[in-house]
Amino acid sequence: MRRELLIALVVIMLLTGASVPMLMELMFRSSGESLTQPSSYSTVGAEVFVSNYSWPTALPGGDLITFKSYRTLVNYLSNISKLNQLLNVLGGVRVITPLFATIPTMTPMPSPAPTTVTSLVTQYELTKAPVVRVPGTNVQVIGIDEPDIVKCNGRLIVVASGSRVFVVGVPEKSVLNVLTFNEPINGLFLVNNSLVVITTSSPQYQPIRVMPDPQCVECVFVIPPGTSNTTVHIYDVSNPKKPVVKGVVSLTGSIVSSRLNGDHLYLITSLPTEGPSIPIVNGVAIPPESIVAVDANPTTYTSILALNIGSLNYSVHTFMTGYNSWLYMSPVNLYLVASQRPTLLNAYITVIKSIAKYLPTDLGSEIGKYLSSGDVSKSLELIADSLNSLSLDRVNELFSKVSSELSNAVFTESSKFYVFGVEGVKVSFRGLFEVNGTVLDQFSMEELGEYFIVATTSTNWSIKVYYEVPTITIMPTPKEEVVKVIECRDNECIEKSITITPTTTATPVKPRFHVGVVPLGVSENNVFTIKLSDLRIAGSLTGLAEGERIYAARLIRNTLYLVTFRQVDPLFAIDLSNPANPKVLGYLKTPGFSEYLHPLPDYMLLGIGIEEGMLKVSLFNISDPTKMSETSKVKLAATSPALQDHHAVALDLDSKLVFIPVKAKSGSGVIVLSFKDGSLSLRKFLEHLNALRTTYVDDELYTISTSSIKVFNISDLSQLSEIQLS
């Protein structure tokens, strides 16, 4: 009886806007458990061949929750599961927290280092700095490396192909070694003499039971089927012919992404909390004291591995959050974004309230009474009984009024950002914020001084009510049946017959209504600026390019360039010199659309996209954002991996060349484009089957596929040699 009362109270609290942490605390108290809201927490982890584990920094208090034991964690996850099951029974999914919510208490955020906001001049100075000319991987933030399938440090080129890594010597023009793994390779990093290989195992088919505490027999965690495992392999390649394994760190869960800041690797994995499950690091379950619930209704373990690839010092921080889709990182902060759609729970409640107004007063009051008490099921039952007593014309009239009223009830998508401070192997949770709309990719967000800039596309959603009148199929009435019966005693048998009269049972089929939350089809775009000191929205620009969505974004100096698309390609320039008041400086409409933007010298902007089904590379003059122009473009009947992955784009700023791998019907290779004096021209097409990347070392250009590397003279683009990867 106590359990039923508790569930009813939980529903009441949901309907009245009570927070999920309060609900969880209530449910724990009912089972004799308690939750801890500490001012600090600690983490331990498994060894990486040597014991080099460090402890993370303190966390703020407030809504954060840690766990004293595995028993407390199991009970917490169990009650989270029960709560979500309850919402599903009521026709909902997960509770959406209020938009623009923030964690009340958080660590003060230091101002970002000057390198987080770089001018074009700074970028090109950094590119030209190395003695050996090497472009490096095309990344978003200068100094923050991103994983890729090809890495080059001037001495070596490493190429990931399937489950193998080819180590190629630049002077030798040959394969010096091949590293073979049992798992597909997710990405590479190459820093000085250290090679980092990230692999991801195939999803397991069977659940894995984990009992980390022998003193708690009921503390059973289950790694569900379909779970992947992510492993970081660190090699010393100072002698590339004989690479030496330095260490291995393995984490349960699929990889979200990774970044390299100097010699510190930050890798993020995701593992659903259902099961209940628990992250495993090098075969050891994360201790309960190391897990922090930062979300009101978490669905995912988000684990952050912070690893010094030189000393192998590392830490693993696990936070219970929503599912994360994109990562942005500056030298001092790491941002994870989780997007979510509206919930059905509020939709059902809205519909019930609307229908009750058009029913008799006493019935409407009774429905409202049950709704206020949290009994949504009873409210729906009363409505169904009432509708079944009305004529179809009356029901249609009622639902016409309800639909008209609900047309004003609009929901929107939202994106929640989790903010973490990073310093070496130390990771601290700084807080979270939420904005309307969803982000396109990592280029939709970036730090700008003391602010964080976010560009989103938001789609409005409306409530739809469907009234279903079942079609009743009339079956023919069965006839009477004469059944023969034989009775035998000893050797004598008597034959009889009986008549069976069929009994017709009529099961009434009642009409019913369904509630759905569907997109209105009207999208708009927004820009939000968030003050890093308190994670609150400082300024916004909403309602941009209604009916379109963002296809590309890039922040250059204090101007955000956005490409939206429906029929033509509007390129917007948004002034952020005053982050509290973002405003449109100008826009340019051109055919087609760009999916990637890249800054060039002399106030030029490169765009890569599609026009009339062809690959289009555009050159924009942005010297005056109020009067932008497309000065030149090149189109060809081909596609390119650069449309989906910016790492495929390479630039030689000294030679003013752009290299883009392409694939056409007749073949594939790399197009070399020259940009000079506001003009873009095709210099040459370098044939190379299935080419994916381009790099260069001094005056030698390398086009790279997973089966070979071709070497060209970068001056005249003549082929010098070819290296087979085998």
Per the structure, the complete domain to which residue 700 belongs is given by 638-726
pLDDT of residue 511 exceeding 70, the answer is no
Position 521 scores a pLDDT of: 64
* Nearest of 117, 113, 160, 162 to residue 141 by alpha carbon: 117
Question: By the 8 A CB rule, do 417 and 346 touch?
Answer: no
Q: Cα–Cα distance between 609 and 616 in angstroms, integer?
A: 5
* Structural domain includes residue 115: no
Question: By the 8 A CB rule, do 337 and 326 touch?
Answer: yes
Instruction: Quote the pTM value.
Output: 0.77
pLDDT of residue 44 exceeding 50, the answer is no
Domain count, the chain: 1
Q: Cα–Cα distance between 710 and 696 in angstroms, integer?
A: 11
Kindly state the helix (H) or strand (E) to which residue 393 belongs, with its residue range. helix 392-406
If you count them, how many residues does the chain have? 726
Position 7 scores a pLDDT of: 44
* Structural domain includes residue 161: no
* Structural domain includes residue 652: yes
Q: Cα–Cα distance between 329 and 711 in angstroms, integer?
A: 34
Position 308 scores a pLDDT of: 95
Beta bridge partners of 467: 513
Return the higher-pLDDT residue of 448 and 39.
448
Q: Cα–Cα distance between 531 and 451 in angstroms, integer?
A: 5
pLDDT of residue 60 exceeding 70, the answer is no
Return the higher-pLDDT residue of 694 and 501.
694
Question: By the 8 A CB rule, do 413 and 458 touch?
Answer: yes
Residue 709 has, within 13 A of its CA and on its CB side, a CA count of 29
Position 198 scores a pLDDT of: 97
* Structural domain includes residue 266: no
Position 495 scores a pLDDT of: 78
* Structural domain includes residue 701: yes
Residue 390 DSSP SS3: coil
* Structural domain includes residue 493: no
Position 59 scores a pLDDT of: 39
pLDDT in tens, 327-381: 999 999 999 999 877 766 667 778 888 888 888 888 888 888 887 766 777 887 8
φ/ψ (deg, to 5) at 71: -65, -45
pLDDT of residue 644 exceeding 60, the answer is yes
Angle between helices 344-357 and 361-372 (to 10 degrees): 160
pLDDT tier for residue 567 given thresholds of 50, 70 and 90: low
* Structural domain includes residue 654: yes
Q: How far apart are the first and last CA of the chain?
A: 70
CATH of the domain at 704: 2.40.10.480
pLDDT in tens, 609-643: 998 889 999 999 999 999 999 999 999 999 999 99
291 CB-contact burial (10 Å; exposed 0-12 / middle 13-18 / buried 19+): buried
Mean pLDDT of the region 283-309? 89
* Structural domain includes residue 93: no
